[in-house]
Structure 1
Amino acid sequence: MRFPKRRRVVATVVAALLGAGAVAAVGYRVLAPAEVETVARADYPPPVTPTVGVVGRLPAAPLIVDGRLRVYAAARQVYADQPADRGHRVTPYWSYRRWPARLSGVVADGTTVLSRWSDGKLVALDARTGRVAWRADGPGPGVLPEPRRTYAATVWEPSGLSVARTPTGRAVLVVAGARELGGYDLVDGRRLWRVDREQGCVGAAGTTADGEVLGLAKCAGPETVEFRDAVTGALRTRWRPPNAPDVFVMTPVGCQQGRFGCRGLRISGADGSGRGWLVGPGTPQAAPGLDGADTALDGDRAVGTSAGVVTGRSARTGAELWRRADLGPVRIIAVEPGRVHLLTERRDLVTVDPATGAERSRFALTIGHDGIDWQPGRAYAMGGYVAVERAREGSVPGDGDQAYFLVPEPVLFVAT
């Protein structure tokens, strides 16, 4: 009479084991590392010539790639939509996801979109198709601030991620981690060089317009600016500005996306005062035209704002080239080759030629019933497009997204 009971016990145990196995299998499928590559199904879009003015609102910060696509970031995803001048975000043209790693930065060079992840993985995507071009192991990015929902910092100001293009046209991806600085061939992801440092010694990485790697060494003694060969990683020179304090702030200026292709530096002390320098072959050269904090650099021309006056100067000598006092109080929100974008108190976007001060375009930065009662957050310019985050008046960076942003689609996207 005991056999049926034993059979029930055995059946119960077997059922429990099968259930546990099923849960484990489901858990593995859900939690195991994964990569999802959703490639483009449509033809690569042609370049567009947008109409000057407000294009539309976007919920996320766009990165303009090849003048044809907009690339966005999410917690675990890089994705693109098209065409570049569409007034709203649409179904992705392509998408790339990873799990459980988190996306930490995105840059683009030509038709290559490069992404960096929290586990140190570097993934290059072909912007024309969304297919993975190569993968490489790089240094982990360390602890990064939690991005806002627009992911503007991830695509417009990626930490420790830049591209160097040498005078011969070779492109190198430069990656800085907490303990390592390295260079990777942009074509195939092959690591070209590596510099190991104690934690906190590498400093912020960037690149110059001449294709050198720019860094701030602060391992021992006074801080020093380093210039390295992008292809070999060899140290070219260490440089300290004359009379600089032991600890200073180095701000690259005249750069492209993030901190690459930079043509100048501003070195500032604790009191906020600074001196400008042009970087290129040889030792950095003093650039009095860049001394002001609210100053932008385009080539060898510096554009600054002070007391309601916009002034163009020679960066090298500080000599005034032109001035405009007709715009009232303005601030520079973004710069790109041949264009300086100014925001007025009335929230007009005025784009001027840095060589002459001539106005290229002017229009109100508003759409629908959004109004002009907002303050600018991060901004970005590329290929005649400008994108700017709109924050609530009086909000501060420490506010949560709900309190910080003006509307659910806070990024205003325009063509100049």
Structure 2
Amino acid sequence: MGLTTGRRRIVAVVSVAVMVAVTAITAYRVLAPAEVSTTARGEYPAAAEREAGVVGRLPVAPLIVDGRLRVYAAQRQVYADGPVDARHRGTPYWSYRRWPAEVSGVVATGTTVVSHWSDGKLVALDARTGQVAWQVDGPAPAQGWTARRTGAGAVWSPAGLFHAEAGDSPTLVVSGPQRLAAFAFDDGRQLWSTEVDGACRTDVGTTSTGRFASLDRCGGPAVVEFRDLRSGEPVDRWEPPGAAAEWSVTPVGCLTEGVRCGGLRVTGPGDDGGRGWLLAADGPVAAPALDPADAELTGEWVVRAADGVVTGRSARDGEDGEEVWRRTDLGPVRIVAVQPDRVHLVTETNDLITVDPATGAERSRFVLNVGADGVGWTPGAAYASGGYLAVERLRQPSASDADDQRYFLTSEPLVLAAT
């Protein structure tokens, strides 16, 4: 009897030990850091030649890469589909996941897609195959995933992630609360790194003149500090003449938010507009045509839509910029996005009108309506690249503090159009 009881106890102890071991192994497999790369198996999508019009609707915000792919971001995943003019989101062409790190932001140039993660890791993927091209440790971001359901904040305006041309190759600039660093886009080589104080410094972005700009309020009057992208060395500290005691600066004329920007707008408390400046090789140059808050810079042109009138001015000629063209036949419109060769205007009834910034000539016009969704929505964040425009559609009236269900129009709130 005693022997039987002893055997039972031994069996019970062994069973418990086995269960604990199995649980530990399972927990490790589930919770341990992991990286899953699913590379492309099909052919690289062909470049699309799409006539102007609505392409379709998407549940998440696309980053258009190489005119062939749409790249998306989720909390722990970066993935792509194609072709670029597909009506709906398709099966991923490739996918890259990490755990437990979160995506902080994604940028792309050429056929290289770089993601920045909450642990500071930078992962470059070849857009043609989805294969990892390089990985390096960069500055850790202030936060991981902060984008709303569409992921637009991660791909259209990624915090602390910028790129620009520096010499013959593109350069990636990564900014964190404690460190600022630059890397070669093609192979991930660190070009330079410097400690910074994020508590008194705000990123502005990269410039079309090959510099990185930040607003520095550390230990003295606020200045815009410009660094050379190739060396990281400060080359200029600029304070706008006549600025208010408390002022802020916004980049304008950018490829995407904070990327390869051609100008700045300086504003003070209560300003409806501000003072516009073009970024030249020897420093900022006053550009009064950029003063109004609703003026947009694209290349050498300033386009403004106000009070039912759309005008195009030279950014450099004349005291106020020489007016080159004027349109009074478009009705009340607002600029939602610009590209180097086109300006996208949306009417009160959500017609999309695209004009040439140099002449005002109309390139295309159509209603931003998909299926039976209608036009009873408010434009949210927008992104334009390669002749395409993507716009978030928000419920009316829009409220930024509403949850995603009440904030976005439908489960597929992005409308994609070829212009």
Measured in 2, the distance between the counterparts of 1:231 and 1:61 equals 32
User: Which amino acid letter does the alignment assign opposite residue 162 of structure 2?
Assistant: S
Query: Which stretch shows the higher mean deviation, 238-247 or 279-288?
Result: 238-247
Worse overlay, 76-85 or 306-315: 306-315
- 2:418 matches 1:408: no
Does residue 334 of structure 2 align to residue 322 of structure 1? no
Q: Which amino acid aligns with 1:127?
A: A
Residue 300 of structure 1: how far off its partner (Å): 1.6
Q: 1:176, 1:202 within 8 Å by CA — same for their partners in 2? A: no
Using structure 2 for the length normalisation, give the TM-score: 0.97
Q: Which amino acid letter does the alignment assign opposite residue 84 of structure 2?
A: A
CA contact 2:104–2:145 (8 Å) conserved in 1: no
> Is 2:406 the counterpart of 1:364?
no
The yes-or-no answer on 1:384 pairing with 2:387 is yes
Alignment-derived partner of residue 206 in structure 1? 205
Between the aligned partners of 2:192 and 2:244, the Cα distance in structure 1 is 31
> Is residue 241 of structure 1 aligned with residue 244 of structure 2?
no
Structure 1 stretch 241-250 or stretch 396-405: which is displaced more? Answer: 241-250
Q: Which residue of 1 aligns with 2:343?
A: 340
Task: Measure, in 2, the Cα distance between the counterparts of 1:145 and 1:3.
Answer: 59
Corresponding residue to 1:354 among 333, 354, 357: 357
Are the aligned partners of 1:80 and 1:94 in contact in 2 as well (CA < 8 Å)? yes
Amino acid across the alignment from 1:20 = V
Match of 1:134 in 2: 134
Match for residue 288 of structure 2? 288
> Where does structure 1 lack aligned partners over 5 or more consecutive residues?
none
Amino acid at match of 1:107: V
How far apart, in 1, do the equivalents of 2:143 and 2:219 lie?
A: 23
Tell me the SS of whatever aligns to 2:266.
strand
Q: Is residue 78 of structure 1 aligned with residue 81 of structure 2? A: no
**TM-fit CA distance, 1:41:** 0.3
How far has the Cα of 1:201 moved from its partner?
A: 3.0
Q: 1:193, CA displacement in angstroms?
A: 1.0
| TM-score between both structures, scaled by the size of structure 1 | 0.98
8 Å CA contact 1:175, 1:205 repeated in 2: no
Q: Separation in 2 of the partners of 1:133 and 1:31?
A: 26
Instruction: Give the 3-state SS of the residue equivalent to 1:313 in structure 2.
Output: strand
Does structure 2 retain, via aligned residues, the 8 Å contact 1:173–1:183? yes
- Does structure 2 conserve the Cα–Cα contact (< 8 Å) formed by 1:392 and 1:406? yes
* Aligned-pair CA distance for 1:220: 1.8
- Residue 368 of structure 2 aligns with an amino acid whose one-letter code is L
Structure 1 residues 25-174: aligned runs within 5 Å: 25-143=25-143, 146-166=146-166, 168-174=167-173
Instruction: State the secondary structure of the residue aligned to 1:42.
Output: coil
Asked if residue 5 in structure 1 is aligned to residue 8 in structure 2, the reply is no
Tell me what 1:190 maps to.
189
Residues 82 and 170 of structure 1: CA distance in aligned 2, closer, same or farther (over 3 Å): same
Distance in 1 (alpha carbons) for counterparts of 2:245 and 2:196: 20
For structure 2, which runs of at least 5 residues remain unmatched after alignment? none
Task: Name the aligned partner's letter for residue 332 of structure 1.
Answer: I
Alpha-carbon displacement from aligned partner over 1:188-216 (angstroms, at most 9, x marks no partner):
21211112122323311411112211111
Between 190-199 and 256-265, report the one with greater CA deviation.
Answer: 190-199
What amino acid sits opposite 1:207 in the alignment?
T
Q: 2:334 aligns to what SS in structure 1?
A: strand
What is the deviation of 1:361? Answer: 0.3
| 1:258 Cα deviation after fit | 2.6
Residue 246 of structure 1: how far off its partner (Å): 3.6
Separation in structure 1 between the aligned mates of residue 198 and residue 303 of structure 2, nearest angstrom: 37
Alignment partners' CA distance in 1, 2:323 and 2:229? 35
Query: Percent of counterpart pairs with the same letter?
Result: 56
Partner of 1:220: 219
Cα distance in 2, alignment partners of residues 369 and 296 from structure 1: 33
